[in-house]
Amino acid sequence: MSLFRAEIGIDLGTVNVVIYLRGRGVIIQEPSVVAILSGEQRIVEVGEAARQMYGRTPDEIEVTRPVRDGVIADYQVTQTMLRYFVDRVKGLKLLPPRIVIGVPYGVTSVERRAVREAAMEAGAGEAYLLREPLAAALGAGLPVDTATGNLVLDLGGGTAEAAVVSMNGIVVANSVRVGGIKLDEAIQGFVRRKYNLAIGEPTAEDIKIKIGSALPLEHELIMQVQGRDQVSGLPRTIEVTSTEVTEALAEPLMQVAACVRAVLEKTPPELASDIIDRGMAMTGGTALLRKLDEYLSREVGIPAYVADAPMACVALGTGRALENVEVLKRTEFLQ
């Protein structure tokens, strides 16, 4: 750990930014949402304060997610958001910070360059990129530096990525653009079709967190939901059950299971036998959905379990990478 340089690990997610500071652990976990004054392109709020404004602002203030599906959708806003968070954590160190950022497995070289340049513009002295499945496996405490097969499924806000990790590298990986946001959209669509009721994204997310489940629950949960009636245009309240939410989530979850199956089909036999013994570690915020581990175990035939602190795994992994920068530089995954 340098006395003169802050060392920062960043999980730049579609829904949340999680920041690790070497020597202190995870110190920031805030929504990756920015509120902008449209005419002047001036940033009004960042993080939790901006999320509170989602769907509640006048026309001149635009609330946006600058990162979509795990990649930068709005370069200028992402750079400003990164600078805001980096300034908050770097303290009074003399040298520009060293930063490791998690990026999705499937990003293109152009997308990779955009992330690195955004980090450098935000004030980094050195910026490295680490593939998220490897970061998630490191953060979940899997023995990725050994010659054993470790299967990790990182379920973020924008993407689900499954990968087999061995010897500090990714042997085989696959990703689908299905994450927490797609699940929210599935709930919105279901409520609109079944009840003729329009609900916002924050309400759909609330339903998912409070009563959502990948499989039917023994004791059904019920929640009152307010929205706008699509026929009369007036506000209306309905009751939604956990069984209905399970039905709404069936299709996106099938895509996640298919993603894992595609990885297992390409896994070398020796590593596959390790995975049967060890099971699959699930990381990312979406891994917290009720009974998702049971659902995936049933669908892919391999025991699945939720890692400790799943939302922080990628950030913790970037932090572990900071401790082993020289080792990981030898692989293609830290660039």
Does 330 have pLDDT greater than 70?
no
How many Å apart are CA 137 and CA 127, to the nearest integer? 21
SS3 state at 146: coil
Q: Calculate mean pLDDT across residues 275-288.
A: 95
Environment class of 15 (CB within 10 Å of its CB; exposed 0-12, middle 13-18, buried 19+): buried
Q: Calculate mean pLDDT across residues 131-154.
A: 94
- Pairing label, strands 197-198, 169-176: unpaired
How many Å apart are CA 97 and CA 322, to the nearest integer? 11
Residue 150's pLDDT is 95
Q: Calculate mean pLDDT across residues 172-201.
A: 96
Residue 239's pLDDT is 97
Give me the residues paired with residue 160 across strands. 155, 176
pLDDT in tens, 233-244: 999 999 999 999
Q: Give all domains of the chain, ordered by start, each with its CATH number.
A: 5-136+313-329 (3.30.420.40), 142-306 (3.30.420.40)
| % of the chain residues with pLDDT over 90 | 70
Residue 328's pLDDT is 66
Residue 80 — very low, low, confident or very high, per pLDDT cuts 50/70/90?
A: confident
Residue 108's pLDDT is 87
Does 334 have pLDDT greater than 70?
no
Q: Calculate mean pLDDT across residues 33-49.
A: 87
Residue 162's pLDDT is 97
* Residue-averaged pLDDT of the chain: 91
How many Å apart are CA 63 and CA 178, to the nearest integer? 22
CA nearest 99: which of 80, 110, 85?
A: 85
**The pTM is what?**
0.92
**Which one has a higher pLDDT value, 19 or 93?**
19
Q: What DSSP line would sit under 88-134, residue for residue? A: HHHTT-SEEEEEEEEE-TT--HHHHHHHHHHHHHTT-SEEEEEEHHH
Residue 68 — very low, low, confident or very high, per pLDDT cuts 50/70/90?
A: confident
C-alpha distances (whole Å) from 139 to each of 122, 143, 149, 198, 215 are: 25, 10, 16, 39, 27
Does 1 have pLDDT greater than 60?
no
Q: Calculate mean pLDDT across residues 299-315.
A: 96
Q: What DSSP line would sit under 155-208, residue for residue? A: E-SS-EEEEEEETTEEEEEEEES-SHHHHHHHHHHHHHHHH-EE--HHHHHHHH
CA nearest 135: which of 278, 12, 260?
A: 12
pLDDT in tens, 191-230: 999 999 999 999 999 999 999 999 999 999 999 999 999 9
Residue 39's pLDDT is 77
Residue 56's pLDDT is 85
Least confident of 48-57, 178-187, 238-247, 271-280: 48-57
Residue 10 — very low, low, confident or very high, per pLDDT cuts 50/70/90?
A: very high
Least confident of 14-23, 48-57, 144-153, 305-314: 48-57
Least confident of 75-79, 174-178, 226-230, 245-249: 75-79
Q: Calculate mean pLDDT across residues 26-44.
A: 88
Q: 292: which 2 tokens?
A: 């998702």
**Which one has a higher pLDDT value, 330 or 55?**
55
